[in-house]
Amino acid sequence: MQLFRLLDERKYPLRCTARKVCGITSFYTPRSNPDGIAVTLKCLDPGTLSHVEIRHADGKNWEKFFEESDIASESKIRPTQ
């Protein structure tokens, strides 16, 4: 049984999946990071992550925010030191 369904891309510009039971979008591929996956924090069990950095975005002026930020680089693999 499939637990997720792909939402209609004409209606949702992001590549989203939603839980069939409750409709929560637990993860999706964001426009800003097409190489990454965005995860809804409320869908994770406590203690799953050791650190979370939250950055607020200006959704009303998204294109300007995207151009002025480094958000697209966040899904790139960084070399370890």
Q: How confident is the model at residue 73 (pLDDT cuts 50, 70, 90)?
A: confident
* CA 61 to mean position of chain CA atoms: 18
Q: What is the pTM of this model?
A: 0.47
Whole-number Å distance between alpha carbons of 35 and 19? 22
Identify the pLDDT of residue 53: 81
Show me where the domains of the chain are located: 4-43+56-73
pLDDT of residue 18: 56
pLDDT tens for each residue of 9-55 = 555 444 555 555 566 677 777 777 777 777 788 778 888 889 888 87
**Measured between alpha carbons, how far is residue 16 from residues 29, 44, 49, 55, 77 in Å?**
7, 17, 22, 21, 23
pLDDT at 1: 43
- Pairwise CA distance, residues 56 & 59, whole Å: 9
In the numeric block, the tokens 């800003």 are attached to: 32
